[in-house]
Structure 1
Amino acid sequence: MPSRSIQPRQLSGGFTLVELLVVIAIIGALIAMLLPAVQAAREAARRTQCMNNLKQTALAVLDYEQAKGELPAGGAFDAVEKSMKFQTSGLYFRVDLRSGTDQSWIVSVLPYMEQQQIASQFAKDRHAAANPSNPQAAQPASLLCPSEESLGRVYQWRGVDGTSTPVPFGKGNYAGFTGPFHTDDYSSPGAIRLFGQAMRRVTDGASQTMAISEVRTRDHEFDQRGAWALPWSGASLLAFDAHPLWYEDSVYNDQQEYDEFVFSPRSLGYTQPPNSKNPDVLYECPDLSAEQVELMPCTNSLGYISAAPRSNHPNGAYSAFLDGSVHFLANDIDEPLMAHLICTADGQVVTVP
């Protein structure tokens, strides 16, 4: 009987086109599922670093207070008598924030942030824009929030009249509260008052007093927001633009009433909670695109200025208190509560969010 040889069956050496497409689709689906988680993890890491940088800035303020016996002044302005812009009624004064050497409170605390090399380049008797080595153009990592894109952004200062040769100021992401009213209010009772104050004046308690919060920057050389070396609204200083009830009633002529005011929704209108849709009031507000108007509105003014905390975090911004703690303030925070948190000595018992 003749024998038959059995030939082995030839197996395919690769994927079919259909199989390959199925594998690609599965991989794509897995990537789509994992990508949001990866992005969320990265943002969580950025937020943590942002909080840590803010906390270190607050601790530098406290170290300054321990060394100097007072909290840092909002800026190095001219003497009170010379820097007053005008008087409205009673004892309410406005300070020209562009007077003096125009160096911010952040310049004062740089040595306590391990930034002595930058701090030593600022001359106390020289304008912040007049230092030949341009220390004001630096962007220390500790002043930047990784959730923002501020690295490389500068503000070009062109002098008070706007005609001088531009001088670059680096932008950062943290600013101090002068008070609940206006940034240029001489008597405003915030932690970073314009002319400084002893810690004993913070009678509401360090854990009840908000000192520093986040600010955003724009990639525009004539937008001052975030210019950390300048003691200007939105640059290194913030204010809430709240009005106590006695201001509504035009009783605004007794300095003692700063310790007695009461805020309520009917006395709050054009205010600056986190990421406010109300414009920041600035010395310089360049043209904005429609998208930027929605996210970072601003308007020009030479007085009654204020600016809101702003961040790239969803739904709010971080703020540091005078005990060194950091809390997240929601965009929809109760406005009277925020006004009281900014005050150092209003005697109100509040719950920190």
Structure 2
Amino acid sequence: MLKIVPKRGFTLIELLVLIAIIAILIGLLLPAVQKVREAAARAQCGNNLKQLGIACVNYHDTNNNLPASAMMRRQVASPMLVTQNFGPNWAVMILPFIEQAALCSQVASSVGSYMSTGDATWRSVRGANLKVFRCPSGSSDGTPYSQAGVAQTLGWARGNYGANAGCGMWWNYGFGVSEACMEMRNGEYLERIGNISGYGYPVLAPGAGTMGINQGIALNKIPDGSSNTVLLAELRIGPVSTDLRGCWALG
């Protein structure tokens, strides 16, 4: 006679209890995993800033001053931000010091001659996606900055870090900025009401940060000491392609 062995299995109640236990465990573990991921992202972001800071110091050791936050020719004739006379910025100038010498070599001549010639060839690096300029926990998906119909505004790759250019003004979305319409008060440039010059950007106010417009200072010229002074900081990337905030080669 065959012996019938009853099959073992979960009852409905046991299955429901098991599902509940698994759900509780997942609920407990997910926040911990997310915290670990965010901590890793913060550490990577801090390391990026450290590497960029070291690169700026190495640039200083080579050139006896920090890189300028951006190079701007003094007379700017167009209201379009990146079609005329907007030159290479600090991030472009430190490329050789962040292991991007090959990328820099493609535009080195343009970077070096920009102030005298206005050569815009340096902008060919604008589409390079460099991880050192991106914070892993940044809110943007990295969509490049582009303005339809303007060739030189297409495909600017994003970045989360900006230089301390100080309080000087250097562009204002087409409402001209000049030393004639700005005045210095308590170390800050303030706009004089009634003197906005309309389209076009006349003589530019240079800024007074560690890396100002057209000029970076020597570390020994920082009154409060370099350890007490902001060099670089995080910034928000524009959430849409037409928002120019957070383009690594644009300031």
TM-score where L is the length of structure 2: 0.73
| Residue deviations 1:159-210 (CA, integer Å, cap 9, x gap) | xxx7556521101110011114546563532111112222232121001111
The size of the alignment, in residue pairs, is: 210
RMSD across aligned positions (CA): 3.1
Question: 2:133, 2:161 within 8 Å by CA — same for their partners in 1?
Answer: yes
Note the C-alpha offset of 1:121: 2.2
| Corresponding residue for residue 100 of structure 1 | 85
Query: 1:72-91 maps to which residues of 2 (within 5 A)?
Result: 72-78=67-73, 80=74, 82=75
Conserved in 1, the CA contact under 8 Å of 2:82 and 2:152?
Answer: no
1:36 aligns with 2:36: no
Return the structure number with greater helix share: 2
Please, which runs of 5 or more residues in structure 2 have no aligned partner?
172-188, 190-204
- With over 3 angstroms needed to count, the CA separation of the structure-2 counterparts of 1:70 and 1:201, relative to structure 1, is same
Q: How does 1:126-275 map to 2 (within 5 A)?
A: 130=121, 134-150=124-140, 152-156=142-146, 163-164=150-151, 166-180=153-167, 182=169, 186-196=205-215, 197-230=217-250, 236=251
* Distance (Å, rounded) in 1 between the aligned partners of 2:88 and 2:64: 20
The 8 Å contact of residues 101 and 128 in structure 1, kept in 2 or not, is answered as no
Question: Any stretches of 5+ residues in structure 1 without a counterpart?
Answer: 86-95, 231-235, 237-353
Contact 1:77/1:99 (8 A) holds in 2:
no
**Conservation of the 8 A alpha-carbon contact between 1:118 and 1:135:** yes
SS state at 2:55 partner: helix
Fraction of identical pairs, as percent: 34
Residue 199 of structure 2 aligns with which residue?
A: none
Structure 2 Cα separation of the partners of residues 83 and 166 of structure 1 = 17
8 Å Cα contact 1:139-1:151 kept in structure 2: no
Tell me how far 1:10 sits from its aligned partner.
4.9
Deviation at 1:219, TM superposition (A): 3.8
SS at match of 1:62: helix
- 2:133 and 2:160 in contact (8 A); partners too: yes
Tell which has more relative contact order, 1 or 2 (C-alpha 8 A, sep 6+). Answer: 2
How many angstroms apart in 2 are the aligned matches of 1:167 and 1:74? 22
SS at match of 2:232: strand
Aligned residues of 2:48 and 2:133 also touching (Cα < 8 A): yes
**Conserved in 2, the CA contact under 8 Å of 1:145 and 1:173?**
yes
